[in-house]
């Protein structure tokens, strides 16, 4: 969106408050609400499969995952990062994070 209007090397519009290229370090309230909504939708998919009466190893692993209301708050909106400070970064910095599987738990020790 901004690449075509502003170009790769031109400064951002003063009218936009100079914020055209800024990526906030944390998610806003609406974005967080949408993250929770998407987690609940995935929980619903796993629930339907559980009610279908099938046997599947991946289903057993999926049922062992915490549900959205059981998840740690920081696991919902941030993910483990090997390179970032404190080994944590905002989940919105993961490309296509809205439709990619994001781990629901942190690796042990982090």
Piece of 7-15, 75-83, 84-92, 95-103 that binds other proteins (CB under 8 A)? 95-103
Tell me the torsion sign for CA atoms 32, 37, 42, 43: positive
List phi, psi (to 5°) of 88.
-140, 140
What residues pair up with 78 in beta bridges, in sequence order?
Answer: 90
Helices 57-64 & 29-51 angle (0-180, nearest 10): 140
Query: Closest approach of Cβ 62 to other proteins, in Å?
Result: 6
By the rule CB under 8 A, 70 interacts with other proteins:
no
Site size for other proteins, by CB under 8 A? 23
Q: Which is nearer to other proteins, 44 or 72 (by Cβ)?
A: 44
Q: How many residues does the chain have?
A: 110
Query: Closest approach of Cβ 95 to other proteins, in Å?
Result: 7
**What's the CA gap between 87 and 80, in Å, rounded?**
6
Residues that bind other proteins (CB under 8 A): 38, 41-42, 44-46, 48-49, 51-56, 58-59, 62, 95-96, 98-101
């Amino acid at each position: 969106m901004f690449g075509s209007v502003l170009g790769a090397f031109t400064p951002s519009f003063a009218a936009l408050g100079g914020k055209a290229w800024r990526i906030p370090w944390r998610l806003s309230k609406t974005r967080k609400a949408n993250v929770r909504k998407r987690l609940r939708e995935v929980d619903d998919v796993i629930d339907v499969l559980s009610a279908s009466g099938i046997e599947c190893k991946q289903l057993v692993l999926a049922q062992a995952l915490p549900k959205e209301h059981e998840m740690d708050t920081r696991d919902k909106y941030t993910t483990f990062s090997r390179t970032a400070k404190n080994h944590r970064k905002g989940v919105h910095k993961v490309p296509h994070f809205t439709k990619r599987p994001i781990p629901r738990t942190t690796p042990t020790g982090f």
